[in-house]
Amino acid sequence: MGFAWRYAATIWPVSPVIGEAFEILAIVIWLALALAFIVRLVKFPQTVIDEVRHPLKGSFVSLFPATTMLVSIAIVPFIRPLAVGMFVFGATVQLAYAAWQSAGLWRGSHPHTDTTPGLYLPTVANNFISAMACGALGFHDLGILFFGAGVFSWLSLEPAILHRLRSAGELPESTRSSLGIQLAPALVACNAYLSVNGGQPDFFAKMLFGYGLLQLLFMLRLMPWYLMQPFNASFWSFSFGISALAATALHLGMGSNDGLFTALAVPLFIFTNFIIGLLLVRTVILLYQGKLLLRAERPATRKN
């Protein structure tokens, strides 16, 4: 949401402080989670190895380089050299991890029941975010390469994921809210495309946005099914697509002569802020109740 508010401050009479506050909050959360991940990697490496090798959880490990590159975008206006360094690190790690994890699926051993929207993260989300970072840093040709990698990874994965969702039985409640990731590809693709094409709201950008709105309609239709489980941190899977919806709606609304997109921009921006605000409030309540961070059992240590 920080990117959306940052852009809103350039087109509306709103304070840029709001967008920067969102960015600072995101950076603080990223730093805390990154440090926690590094500490776990050093102290309990086997837990990280098990997570990386898990057919379902392994895809979510790629959020580390993804969020690192998002932070690099946030700090571009302030500390460009650090932003470039974080982008290079994030892009390198995401490509290496995708080559190991996603290419490894081609050996035919991936369980069909674990073919969920989480599979978008290593190759689709990371490449789109890489393209967005390239756009922010001015590396437009490199951004096009990442954008192409993300688009065709998305198009190759979506049929398999939707086939599993339709035909391989109902997802268990513990993984059901991860379906929120299904909202993200089209809208994040639109955001990435606008980042590398100079912000032109052309035919292709509007096509991507239209498919994203269709996915939003599907998400709303399934909301009672999602809410059969208590609120938990996995509900944040909706946030990536929702935040991209806010940013793309504003760009298309302000850059298009079509009254339709102008009319959609403000209501969608308000809607996305409401959803993110609701997620924040529910998360704070969960944290206050001591139910947000669940203690995991430490691996047994061997006695000499």
- 204 phi and psi angles, rounded to 5 deg: -65, -40
pLDDT-based confidence at residue 296 (cuts at 50, 70, 90): low
pLDDT digits (tens, 9 = 90+) for 214-223: 999 999 998 8
User: Rounded to an integer, what distance in angstroms lies between the CA atom of residue 304 and that of residue 301?
Assistant: 10
pLDDT in tens, 74-86: 999 999 999 999 9
Q: How far is CA 283 from the centre of its chain?
A: 18
Q: Please name the residues in contact with 116: beta carbons below 8 A apart, sequence gap of 6 or more.
A: 56, 161, 164, 165, 171, 175, 178, 179
The confidence score (pLDDT) of residue 293 equals 64
pLDDT at 156: 94
% residues pLDDT > 90 (the chain): 49
More confident residue, 168 or 36: 36
pLDDT above 90 (res 236)? no
**Mean pLDDT of all residues in 90-118:** 87
How much is the pLDDT for 304?
A: 44
pLDDT band at 73 (very low <50, low <70, confident <90, very high): very high
**Choice between 44 and 173, residue whose per-residue pLDDT is larger:** 44
* Alpha-carbon gap, residue 186 to 178, rounded angstroms: 16
- Homologous superfamily of domain range 180-292: Voltage-dependent anion channel (1.50.10.150)
pLDDT reading at 298 higher than 60 = no
Backbone angles phi, psi at 68, to 5 degrees: -60, -40
CB neighbours (10 Å) of residue 213?
A: 18
User: What does the pLDDT average to over 54-64?
Assistant: 87
In the predicted model, what is the mean pLDDT of the chain? 88
What average pLDDT score do residues 270-287 get?
A: 90
